[in-house]
Structure 1
């Protein structure tokens, strides 16, 4: 083990754990310094989880899109972000059945679909996280700076969303360039990065992108904005203060629970590969299992977003009930009993809190 040079071991460079994709084969026993781990997550259980997340995300985000698109009159800036967030989560969820099948049969779809599906997954990963940050900024402006006129923001919020999608596409280009389908000996076909001779350098770049732009920076923005928002709500003694605080705490907490474990494990894996911490077979297997498990936790975020950003909001519930009443699914008396939604931060529809 001490004389073995991992930098010259190309097969491991191709198939080492990286990013939020666990469709990788085990390292062959006769060619790797460590024996393959026999305690991997059950692939059938992972497939079931993928399908459940797919169905829940499809249903939840479709309802969010329906309510936001239907409410043209009272649509706020945050509603526009929520609409794009729902689109991002739904597009991401559409890739889950393909990845689920690849868990069972390997990658059987070829290089073109490998590149396209991987690009779609990456773009929507970045866009969803960046949109969450934009929502936190919008709540900060609406509540902390409630006296500021924000009507002009309604005109360029669409350009912000287009910019987020464009930035997400740019950040995802390395995946599109390097991804390919190939069939290693004695293993199932895979869809993974082929980086040639500069594997180590490019892998560090591709790890830094999602950890920096896909987690750390959006998290700092959210903590800053929601921190000042909470302080303002405490000081202002608003009538709906406690409701707003519950939503804000849920936003930050669910985001951390879903993505912080995976990113911490990914940092540990990066340090191990750089030699900052000693690499052993046991440690490599432990990190591999942790990446598999925390990746699934991160995937769950796409179906939890409708619950956090819409379903617990009074405005969303009223909008959904209104649509159901129009189509005769609930009585108008029940809709009137529920009452109209109240808002936090400003009486203006432009700064009303959607959450």
Structure 2
């Protein structure tokens, strides 16, 4: 979900500063208003450093998450969802060096890689929120309805996760189809959507449909399920199980804090392009800067979940220390001192999580 400009936006935005353009050239003969862009933007080298740090943290953290979950004998439904979430973040993290290089030197990798890394970015976002929505439904059924019908049949979760990956690919497919490397005159090469004719129409379709089915609907599902789940937990005064749910709530909250701002700015940009809200040069500049900043926040999300598990997830921390003790990285005495968590989570048995 990347910030893009209409074909006719080029001269409207940049006027004589065409060399600063990072989009696609104009293809029509419409009138171009003398709208000049504020060329002050985020320092590209600072962005490169941020991407590099996120890459290293995400690579290490999500690899450890997958290792800890794989090492467990009996993985719960929630474990499987979180495992897939770590896989999505790890796959996206592998593309960050490419995005960082493109920030510094422009897109020098050609069209095939442009399509692939753009696809991975979209799939990471959609699979993330869909997996979190499935976790919310699982917790809702286990706590509010106290049912084990779905959660006892653990083989179903494999099909659900497969369906999530398939749906994420479908939602990301338009980006894969239309993205290509392009080298505009007097500017660095870019990875951009080539929508051909009816640019505004296609861009609306590419934004509205994925945002509806890949963001808004899963968000509503999470709000509904967690709202009723919290009400049930507090009504039953299940204090210990409240603590066991902290990890899941923290994961959802961090996801929303990272990705909701970007999507809200995208909505504002879409409304402006659809002429629902007034379109001015100042507003274009503000939205452009906001998209750049909030996209970085979204990228940052890929390294945060492992930190949540370490600082909040008692069982995850114990599992990680156990692996370290087995490989002689820490003493077994320290592992015993850390102690085993007092509650054992199971998605099919109670309201605890396994992290």
Query: Shorter-chain TM-score: which interval?
Result: 0.7 to 0.9
> How many pairs does the alignment contain?
340
In 1, the alpha carbon distance for the partners of 2:221 and 2:150 equals 20
Name structure 2 gaps, 5 residues minimum.
Answer: 15-20, 27-31
In 2, the alpha carbon distance for the partners of 1:252 and 1:123 equals 17
The answer as to whether partners of 1:61 and 1:86 remain within 8 angstroms in 2 is: yes
Deviation readout 1:299-328 (Å, 9 max, x if unpaired): 111111223356521111111111111112
Aligned to 2:52: 51
Aligned to 1:260: 260
- Structure 2 counterparts to residues 182-193 of structure 1, below 5 A: 182-193=182-193
Note closer, same or farther for the CA distance 1:188–1:277 as it changes in structure 2 (3 Å cut). same
- Structure 2 counterparts to residues 339-354 of structure 1, below 5 A: 339-343=339-343, 352-354=352-354
Aligned to 1:236: 236
The answer as to whether partners of 2:309 and 2:316 remain within 8 angstroms in 1 is: no
What's the secondary structure of 2:95's corresponding residue?
helix
Aligned to 1:9: 8
Deviation readout 1:184-227 (Å, 9 max, x if unpaired): 11111111000111211110011113422332122111111211
How far residue 91 of structure 1 moved from its aligned partner, in angstroms, is: 0.4
How far residue 51 of structure 1 moved from its aligned partner, in angstroms, is: 1.0
Aligned to 1:64: 65
- Structure 2 counterparts to residues 23-102 of structure 1, below 5 A: 24=23, 33-71=34-72, 73-102=73-102
TM-score, with structure 2 as normaliser:
0.87
Note closer, same or farther for the CA distance 1:55–1:222 as it changes in structure 2 (3 Å cut). same
What's the secondary structure of 2:38's corresponding residue?
coil
The answer as to whether partners of 2:133 and 2:221 remain within 8 angstroms in 1 is: yes
What's the secondary structure of 1:196's corresponding residue?
coil
What's the secondary structure of 1:240's corresponding residue?
helix
How far residue 133 of structure 1 moved from its aligned partner, in angstroms, is: 1.3
What's the secondary structure of 2:187's corresponding residue?
coil
Aligned to 2:161: 161
TM-score, with structure 1 as normaliser:
0.87
In 2, the alpha carbon distance for the partners of 1:283 and 1:156 equals 48
In 2, the alpha carbon distance for the partners of 1:225 and 1:344 equals 23
Name structure 1 gaps, 5 residues minimum.
Answer: 1-5, 16-21
Deviation readout 1:56-90 (Å, 9 max, x if unpaired): 1111101100000111x231111111111100000
Note closer, same or farther for the CA distance 1:8–1:184 as it changes in structure 2 (3 Å cut). closer
In 2, the alpha carbon distance for the partners of 1:171 and 1:312 equals 32
In 2, the alpha carbon distance for the partners of 1:344 and 1:237 equals 19
Aligned to 1:300: 300
How far residue 231 of structure 1 moved from its aligned partner, in angstroms, is: 1.3
What's the secondary structure of 1:86's corresponding residue?
helix
Relative to structure 2, which stretch is displaced further, 88-97 or 305-314?
A: 305-314
Aligned to 2:17: none
How far residue 34 of structure 1 moved from its aligned partner, in angstroms, is: 1.4
In 2, the alpha carbon distance for the partners of 1:10 and 1:237 equals 57
The answer as to whether partners of 1:146 and 1:351 remain within 8 angstroms in 2 is: no
RMSD over aligned Cα atoms: 2.8
Aligned to 1:179: 179
In 2, the alpha carbon distance for the partners of 1:24 and 1:158 equals 40
The answer as to whether partners of 1:110 and 1:181 remain within 8 angstroms in 2 is: yes
The answer as to whether partners of 1:47 and 1:101 remain within 8 angstroms in 2 is: yes
